[in-house]
Amino acid sequence: MDIGLALPIRNNIDVKSNIEIAKKAETLGFDSIWVSDHIVIPDKHKGRFTNLFHDPFALLSYIAGVTDKIKLGTSLIILPYRNPIVVAKMISTLDNLSDGRVIFGVGTGWMREEFEILGVPFENRGKRTNEYIQIVKNLWTEDNPSFEGEFYNYRDIKFEPKPLQNPYPKIIVGGNSGRAIDRAIKFSNGWQPTAIGPEEYRADLQYIRKSINQDNFVLSVRNRVEIRNDKYNTEGPGFYTFRGTVSEIIEEARKFRDLGVKQILFDPAVESLEEYFKTIDIISAEIIPNIKS
């Protein structure tokens, strides 16, 4: 099982501290480190999470240079924000720079105001995401790529470098909706919902397993984690959190493992950098060994 760590998105953590987190995560035995993606935060959403989002591609490139083996994930690149041909180039270059450590997580996005600021239509973002994933795979795998779509067309081109991983880095679709699940099944190598409990995950798996080759499809989950001294609970319907004592968090994580989930991303819900480091120390020493055993 891959145990991943999400870099902070609810604290204004400077870029150097993010680098230190990534380096320590590798030392502590985490399998992967994950960056999130927003370009601007409209005032309407201020306080929901930090205003400080570093560019995910630049941040992962730096992390690649100061680590040796930890995988580098995006959770998630909001794909319809960007030109997919440029994104394909950035990810394939990063895969080469990192000796093949990239996991490419993508999503459609949800913040209408951010789309409007960036001049990207909010409507049809799902259709764009579907097409853009196909473009990325086409550029990564074809010697003479060509494509005819609703939003992009090209032919008679060369695209290099190809990713180092063969045939290409895992593409994982994020999102909890039925459309996200269908997108993951049809266009990608895996599915990564967030804030979801094991029972809800189990229900979605019944649908997924009818449609995929389980051996080649990555079942992933990203959830907040809050280590406490009192009994486990959630924040209510629709927003699941690993919250409670270490033993209770282990029990909940094992439920995902037993469902066949191969990748758990822990997203520490803390108030400070000091608490963040304390949390990942506990996850490394007490939780990871008991999930993987």
CATH for 222: 3.20.20.30
Residue 200 tokens, joined: 């809800």
- Where residue 237 falls among pLDDT bands split at 50, 70, 90? very low
Residue 216, pLDDT score: 84
Q: What is the pLDDT of residues 187-213, one digit of tens each?
A: 999 999 999 999 999 999 989 988 886
DSSP string, the chain: -EEEEEPPSSS---HHHHHHHHHHHHHHT-SEEEE---S---GGGBTTB-S----HHHHHHHHHHH-SS-EEEES-EEGGGS-HHHHHHHHHHHHHHTTS-EEEEEE----HHHHHHHT--STTHHHHHHHHHHHHHHHHH-SS--EE-SS-EE-S----PPPSSSS--EEEEE-SSHHHHHHHHHH-SEEE-BS--HHHHHHHHHHHTTTS-GGG-EEEEEEEEEE-SS----SSTT--EEEE-HHHHHHHHHHHHHHT--EEEEEE--SSHHHHHHHHHHIIIIIHHHHH-
How many domains is the chain partitioned into structurally?
Answer: 1
Confidence of residue 231 (pLDDT cuts 50, 70, 90): low
Q: Answer with the residue of higher pLDDT: 47 or 233.
A: 47
Q: What is the pLDDT of residue 276?
A: 97
- Mean of pLDDT values over 77-84: 97
Tens-place pLDDT, residues 98-110: 999 999 999 999 9
Q: Is the pLDDT of residue 46 over 90?
A: no
- Structural domain for 218, as ranges: 2-292
214 or 133, which is more confident: 133
The pLDDT value given to residue 45: 78
Arithmetic mean of pLDDT, 153-175: 97
Q: What is the pLDDT of residues 109-143, one digit of tens each?
A: 999 999 999 999 999 999 999 999 999 999 999 99
